[in-house]
Amino acid sequence: MIVGQTKGPSSRFPTSVLAAGILILCGWISPVASAAADVSKEGFLKATPSQAAQHSESGSSMGQTNYGGMVVVGIIAVLTAIVGASIWRSHELAVKRDLAIEAENQAAAARKGAEYIVNHLLDQLRDRLEPLGHLDIVEDAQRMVETYHEKFGASQQDPEGLNRWATLLQNQADQLLAQGDMNGAQVKYGRSLEISRQLVKQDPENSAWEAALSVRYEKVGDLLLAQGDLNRARTQFRRLLEIQHNLAGRNPGDMAWQRSLLATSERLGEILEAQGDLRGAEATYASSLQIMLKLVSQDPMNRGGLRELSVIHGRLGGVLKAQGDVAGATRNFKASIEILTNLIREHGENPTLEWDLDWAKAQLREG
């Protein structure tokens, strides 16, 4: 109704104002011309021939002056009418644009709310039916939601919707992987990962998008490792490491990101070592060592952290030994032995710690 009301006046206003301006112009021209004619006629009847001539010249000059002025006034009136019509039209277009934007925002908010409800209900359905073994119902519901996202779902202008779609794909991949369908899981993970990469590309400073991307890189990397594809797994973990470096640098006080960075570094080092890239493995383990030393300094009595520190020393010592760096290998093996010995002395016998200690001592003897 609002649009219909604004359309009527706007279409009549420019024409009516323009017509008024033209009438003003004509109205001013007609009286001036008539007055000039009357004056001229009266003067000729009462004056002498010479006076009549002078009066005729004076009247003609005054008439021309008044006539020219009135023409200018009329033109200004017409131009004013045109400008007024343009301003009115611009106002009308602005009102329509604001109404369209408001309607679009309301539609987007409604869709977002509906998607939130659907995803919540899907999560509830999964939690209730999976323990009962009714996975077929969950899968059907997920496929319906996925079809919705593909046809009517989020676009580049709706990052929240895109992230919800990526999360849905990731959940589907997790379910397929639990069922042993690695190929199906890989397809879903890949689509989820691609959406996350788009989000980070659009907003590189958004930590939430980067965190979601790191999770998806890790899932794809783990799956590739399980499939024995070391080359592609290495690529994924390197990309994951880059994202985690950004997040850890942006949140230096968040030890959780430091631990995530450490875990990825160790995993990448293991892949490089398995591929025979000893220099790459050495650099990665050395980076892991620095991260672990920082974590231990934050919590020096943490037994799990100290044990992990001994493991990293051992791994670094191993790749140095394989490259013929006896001094570097010896230094790291001794550091590992010292940490393990102290842990056993302070916390008692432990089969895992004792096995690590025996291995480190054997490596040192053989070196």
**Mean pLDDT along residues 164-187:** 92
Identify whether the C-beta of residue 261 lies closer than 8 Å to the C-beta of residue 248: yes
Q: Cα separation of 112 and 164, whole Å?
A: 10
**148 or 337: whose pLDDT is higher?**
337
Q: Domain 280-367 - what CATH class?
A: mainly alpha
DSSP count for the chain of H helices, then E strands: 12, 0
Residue 195's pLDDT is 93
- Which residues, 6 or more positions from 193, have their beta carbon under 8 angstroms from its beta carbon? 166, 213, 216, 217, 220
Residue 118's pLDDT is 52
In this model, does residue 56 exceed pLDDT 60?
Answer: no
Residue 164's pLDDT is 87
In this model, does residue 110 exceed pLDDT 90?
Answer: no
pLDDT in tens, 138-155: 555 555 555 555 555 555
**Mean pLDDT along residues 280-290:** 96
Question: CA-based angle 40:43:48, to the nearest 5?
Answer: 130
240, with CB counted inside 10 A (0-12, 13-18, 19+), is: buried
In this model, does residue 266 exceed pLDDT 90?
Answer: yes
Question: CA-based angle 59:65:71, to the nearest 5?
Answer: 130
In this model, does residue 114 exceed pLDDT 90?
Answer: no
Count Cα neighbours of 108 within 13 Å in the Cβ-side half-sphere: 15
In this model, does residue 206 exceed pLDDT 90?
Answer: yes
**108 or 171: whose pLDDT is higher?**
171
How large a percentage of the chain has pLDDT more than 90?
Answer: 47
**249 or 135: whose pLDDT is higher?**
249
Question: Concatenated DSSP letters for 273-336?
Answer: HHTT-HHHHHHHHHHHHHHHHHHHHH-TT-HHHHHHHHHHHHHHHHHHHHTT-HHHHHHHHHHH
Residue 254's pLDDT is 85
Residue 199's pLDDT is 94
What are the extents of the domains in the chain? 4-98, 280-367
Residue 154's pLDDT is 53
